C-alpha cells in the first residue's frame, strides 16, 4: 500500500483559482497539465487523479469545456459519458481489489468548472468511519504517494482492461 502524505489544501485552492482549466490544458497537450490518461476518444478523456486518496482514482470528462453536468450536455452526450464512467468503473473493479466504486461529479463555478466525474475505487477493509466522503476528502485522508513507475503501471493495467470492458 502506498504511503500517505498531508494534502496542502491552501496551495491547491490558490492554484485552481488562479490557473487555467487543468482539463483543457490536459486535452490541449500542455505538459504542465499532464496526467496519466487511461482512456481517450474524440469526445471524452479519463485519467488518473494527480492527488488520489484511493489507488486507481480516475476522473472522466468531456473534452469540450462544459460546466453544467446536465445543462450543457444533450441527453445523448450525457449518456455517452456515463458509458465511459461505467467502463472505467468495471475496469477498476477487475484490476483492483474493490469493495465499492464511488461515482460523483464535483466542481464549482469558483474553481474546477470543467464538468468531470470522480470514479474512486474503495478497497476492502476500510473502516466505516474512513469510507464515503471521508475516503475522498484529501485534507482528512491525505493523498497517496506513488512514484511515476507505479502510476504508469496502474494506468497501463486500467487502460488494458478498458479495452476488454464492453457495454
Nearest to 60 by CA among 70, 72, 48: 48
Q: What is the pLDDT of residues 101-118, one digit of tens each?
A: 999 999 888 888 899 999
**Would residue 141 count as lying in a domain?**
yes
Given a cut of 80, whether residue 97 has pLDDT beyond it is yes
For residue 121, give the 3-state DSSP assignment. Answer: strand
**Would residue 167 count as lying in a domain?**
no
**Would residue 59 count as lying in a domain?**
yes
pLDDT recorded at residue 5: 92
Q: Binning pLDDT at 50, 70 and 90, where does residue 30 land?
A: very high
What is the domain-level CATH number for residue 150?
3.30.428.10
Q: Binning pLDDT at 50, 70 and 90, where does residue 1 land?
A: low
Query: Between these two residues, 61 and 17, which has the higher pLDDT value?
Result: 61
- How many structural domains does the chain have? 1
- Give the Å distances, CA to CA, from 112 to 17, 48, 57, 146, 149: 8, 16, 17, 24, 27
Total-model pTM: 0.94
Q: What is the pLDDT of residues 53-78, one digit of tens each?
A: 999 999 999 999 999 999 999 999 99
Q: Say how many Å lie between the first and final Cα of the chain, rounded.
A: 31
Strands (DSSP E) contained in 19-161 are: 37-40, 44-48, 58-62, 100-105, 117-122, 143-145
Angle in degrees, 0-180, between the axes of helices 148-162 and 75-95, rounded to the nearest 10 = 120
Helix (H) or strand (E) holding 3, with range, is strand 3-5
**Would residue 158 count as lying in a domain?**
yes
pLDDT recorded at residue 81: 97
Q: Residue 110 is part of which domain span?
A: 3-162
Amino acid at each position: 500500500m502506498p504511503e500517505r502524505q498531508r494534502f496542502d489544501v491552501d496551495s491547491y485552492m490558490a492554484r485552481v483559482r488562479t490557473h487555467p482549466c487543468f482539463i483543457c490544458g490536459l486535452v490541449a497537450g500542455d505538459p504542465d497539465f499532464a496526467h496519466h490518461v487511461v482512456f481517450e476518444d474524440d469526445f471524452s478523456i479519463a485519467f488518473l487523479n494527480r492527488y488520489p486518496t484511493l489507488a486507481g482514482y480516475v476522473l472522466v470528462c468531456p473534452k469540450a469545456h462544459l460546466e453544467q453536468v446536465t445543462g450543457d450536455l444533450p441527453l445523448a452526450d450525457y449518456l455517452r459519458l456515463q458509458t465511459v464512467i461505467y467502463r472505467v468503473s468495471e475496469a477498476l473493479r477487475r484490476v483492483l481489489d474493490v469493495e465499492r466504486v464511488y461515482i460523483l461529479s464535483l466542481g464549482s463555478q469558483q474553481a474546477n468548472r470543467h464538468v468531470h466525474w470522480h470514479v474512486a475505487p474503495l478497497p476492502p477493509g476500510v473502516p466505516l468511519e474512513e469510507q464515503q466522503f471521508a475516503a475522498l476528502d484529501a485534507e482528512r485522508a491525505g493523498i497517496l504517494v506513488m512514484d511515476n513507475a507505479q502510476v504508469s503501471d496502474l494506468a497501463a493495467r486500467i487502460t488494458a482492461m478498458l479495452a476488454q470492458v464492453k457495454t
